[in-house]
Amino acid sequence: MHQLEAKRAALLKQLGQVGPLVEGSLAVSNRRCHGPSGAQYRYLMLCRKDQGRSKILTIPKDLHETVTAWNAEHKRVKALLKEISALSEQIIHGYVKAKRAALRQEQLQLLDETEDSNA
């Protein structure tokens, strides 16, 4: 159980190093200009849900790399939180298991003492 707590502590420490982040899914789309050239251009969108409704935010070209990094940081933190939660659940299960084993051991000792005093 100490190994689980140590691993969880290390992950919690990583949370202190969190940088800017943004939630959502990134999507790239192509659009055709309506002008006479009809040229195509690509744009990046950040898609997310807000109160059950889809929200789309078009990302300016000069922020593509920055927003992509922020989104990656969000995914990293989300995975980190999931791992921390799983470790915490394992710690709880281990605690309950150890507590039950200790209770059983105590009951067996009491039973042995009762049998010894009756003999």
Residue pLDDT, tens place only, 45-91: 999 999 999 999 999 999 999 999 999 999 999 999 999 999 999 99
Q: Residue 106 — very low, low, confident or very high, per pLDDT cuts 50/70/90?
A: confident
Q: Residue 119 — very low, low, confident or very high, per pLDDT cuts 50/70/90?
A: low
- pLDDT score recorded for residue 44: 94
* Structural domain harbouring 68: 2-118
Domain total for the chain? 1
- pLDDT score recorded for residue 71: 97
- Give CA 104 to chain center in angstroms: 36
Sequence-separated contacts (24+) of 87-93 with Cβ below 8 Å? 87/4, 87/7, 87/8, 87/11, 88/8, 90/4, 91/1, 91/4, 91/5, 91/8
Q: What does the block give as tokens for 70? A: 């922020």
Mean pLDDT of 23-28: 95
Compare 32 and 63 and report the one with higher pLDDT.
63
- pLDDT score recorded for residue 49: 94
Mean pLDDT of 34-52: 87
Compare 9 and 115 and report the one with higher pLDDT.
9
